Amino acid sequence: MKPVLALSLAILSCSVIAGENKVYNVNGSEYEGYWAAVDDNAPLVLLIHDWDGLTDYEVKRANMLNDLGYNVFAADLFGKGIRPTKVEDRRQHTGELYEDREKLRALMQGSLDFASKLTKKTPKTVVMGYCFGGAAVLESARAGMNVKGFVTFHGGLTTPEGQNYEETKAPILILHGTADSAITMDQFADLADALEAQQVDHEMITYSGAPHAFTVFDSPRYRKNADEKSWKRFAEFLAQVTK
């Protein structure tokens, strides 16, 4: 959904923190995330990529979060060196994880465990993701991941058969485009019903005229107004749950 670029920092318009790639292991396989830290005492944002894998888009968002005072680990759910550029490859990698929810949960928890050890003290953490990454975030919420909050930007919203939110331990913020034809308002409403049924603290916002992937810079789908409004609410949410 986003332009695929090399992991360079040259394109960043925000203040640049010297980040670094980090290789880590989950269940015997290698993954390569991106770590950008501002302070050992700062809260942590675990950032989950969309179906392109980890690219410069996540690096830019990580550095924007650094500007707000957060350490960021942009996780890798596909594997070291796997950054699919063809639609069929993206569908393959996301489809494999959608079919194997236990693996997806293990990757999310493994990424969190690794990120949590990158500073001297255990940080207050929020997990957020874009598109496929948003679906992965909600998977972790249903799994009962122990963090301060969950956030999705134009993420997948459906609840797999047999799952629910009874184990969810933290507030959920959903930021969605009303004009999203890939993830419909019916799915948005169904999620609202599911969260309310389990009495999960949640906030769900839709932005008029915003299609799927409305936050992706330099894309035909980018909507500046919706992007800026959703980022502002995200920043407020971060401040609230990590104070």
Q: pLDDT for 175-223, tens place per residue?
A: 999 999 999 999 999 999 999 999 999 999 999 999 999 999 999 999 9
Give the CATH fold of the 20-242 domain: Rossmann fold (3.40.50)
Which strand ranges, in their side-by-side order, compose the sheet holding 149-153? 20-26, 29-36, 71-74, 44-48, 125-130, 149-153, 172-177, 202-207
Split at pLDDT 50, 70, 90, the class of 17 is low
* CA angle (172, 38, 26) in 5-degree steps: 60
Q: What is the pLDDT of residue 120?
A: 86
Q: Give this prediction's pTM.
A: 0.92
Split at pLDDT 50, 70, 90, the class of 12 is very low
Domain boundaries, the chain: 20-242
Q: Alpha carbon 150 to chain centroid distance?
A: 8
CA distance 168 to 30: 28
Q: Which residues pair with 89 in a beta bridge?
A: none
Instruction: Determine contact, residues 76/59, Cβ cutoff 8 Å.
Output: no
Which residue in 160, 152, 170 sits closest to 190, CA to CA? 160
Which residue in 226, 236, 217, 229 sits closest to 180, CA to CA? 226
Split at pLDDT 50, 70, 90, the class of 121 is confident
